[in-house]
Amino acid sequence: MIERSEHSAKEAWQQLEKFLRERKYLSLREVLRPDMDIRWDLGMDGHDAVHFFPDFFEVFQIRSGDFTYDKYFDGESVNIFSTVCTLLFALFFKKFRKEIREKNESTKLTAGMLQRAIELGIWDSQRLIKQEKQ
């Protein structure tokens, strides 16, 4: 467990990078960037997240705040019929397409958000997303 103190951005980043490498989400050759989506770029799926986040919150002494798995991760199984229907509906209705795009942007989970959560000491989605867009 890391002693809770005011984490500077640089310290938080170094600790996060070490944490991700120890858990094999980041190889020694990979360069961690703030905009990396941990789901797609680091290959973390819903099953991985169930093991990762409790450990992440404990090690960095972060209060879970408003964190929920379903906001950032899909279920392990994908319903093909529902996915195809959603895509077809979005293809024909511009407003729906915009809503899907906004939903996907609001649920992006980046290394920069993890760093910011370490600095804040709490998972506050609004602050993390707001910071991400700046």
What is the overall mean pLDDT for the chain? 80
Amino acid at 55: D
Q: Is the pLDDT of residue 37 over 70?
A: yes
What integer pLDDT is reported at residue 77 of this predicted model?
A: 45
Structural domain for 117, as ranges: 9-133
pTM listed for this prediction: 0.73
3 inside domain = no
Indicate the number of domains in the chain: 1
109 inside domain = yes
Residue bearing the bigger pLDDT, 42 or 82:
42
39 inside domain = yes
23 inside domain = yes
User: pLDDT grade, residue 67 (50/70/90)?
Assistant: very high
With vertex at residue 103, the alpha carbon angle to CA 80 and CA 117, rounded to the nearest 5 degrees, is 115
50 inside domain = yes
Residue pair 25/44 in contact by the 8 Å Cβ criterion? yes
